[in-house]
A and B are shown apart, each in its own frame.
Chain A
């Protein structure tokens, strides 16, 4: 279920919470890729990063949203 986030009586979209979570996952992945050296081997790493962020966001929505 998509729920709103109530902050001080105001309702916000749950994406306000989901996006930072996905972002944290992206940062962790990026670190891991750097450490293992995979990052340099990727073709167009920026594309990959953005795409991974979107995938993470979808996963977060899937889990936190209750589907």
Chain B
């Protein structure tokens, strides 16, 4: 074999290696994939609309519930008593209204034969109106109290699964304070945190292959949205309202990550999705 041929063979192999190495490098660095994906779900935090003791807890931890199913009931004695009180008040207002109306009707007749002044008639008419308004007010208050009574039975706002139930019978729950959370059924999706260097390769509608850490079976889906903002740490201020500008090395920059939401295609039955678990995401390049 001539020296020239030997040199050429080696050079060809080296050139091939350069091309192949470059291809691997490009693929590793610039393909739209991430190991930093998370399974997400719509979580509803459930807070009671009224305060009181929990008298009956109808669900267990991790129980599946249907929409409208009873979750827990709050002691309703106080709300029941308030209703009774208000019912009595409504009755009183009703009687007061009847009386005022009766007076007005009687005075209407008297006014016809000019026994009383027009002014007096007007006063009784207004009193009757006022009594009616007070009756309406009492009725409205009764409705509110009845609503409160209804709200002592806390129901599931949608079908899903209870998670991390820490509520026990006898606990005191406060109005508006979350006491349990619900994972909405079928609301699972995946968020991939892609490096900003790969952002130009990602677009809505792109097909994605998702591999969960918990299962070897790949899932598929498509990109539905790309986050439009992430926090900038340089905006933080100190007590003197001066910006906290982060120091960086002149050459080394870490690519930040942008969340990309991916809608899942129907998931096979043997795959269990758990919100918060890790997933690797690879987007098809087209």
Contacts and interface: CB of A to CB of B under 8 A. Distances in A.
Contacts, number: 70
Nearest to A51: B17
B280 A3 contact: yes
Task: Place the interface of chain B in its size category.
Answer: 20 to 34
A61 B209 CA distance: 18
B209 A1 contact: yes
Interface residues of A, number: 25
Interface string B1-36: 101001101100110111011011001100101010
Interface in A6-60: 6, 11, 15, 41-44, 47-48, 50-55, 57-59
A65 B14 CA distance: 23
A59 B28 CA distance: 14
A2 B6 contact: no
A27 B3 CA distance: 25
B32 to A, nearest CB: 11
B125 interface: no
B33 A51 contact: no
Of the listed residues A1, A11, A52, the one surrounded by the most CB atoms of chain B closer than 10 A to its CB is: A1
Interface of A: 1-4, 6, 11, 15, 41-44, 47-48, 50-55, 57-59, 61, 65, 67
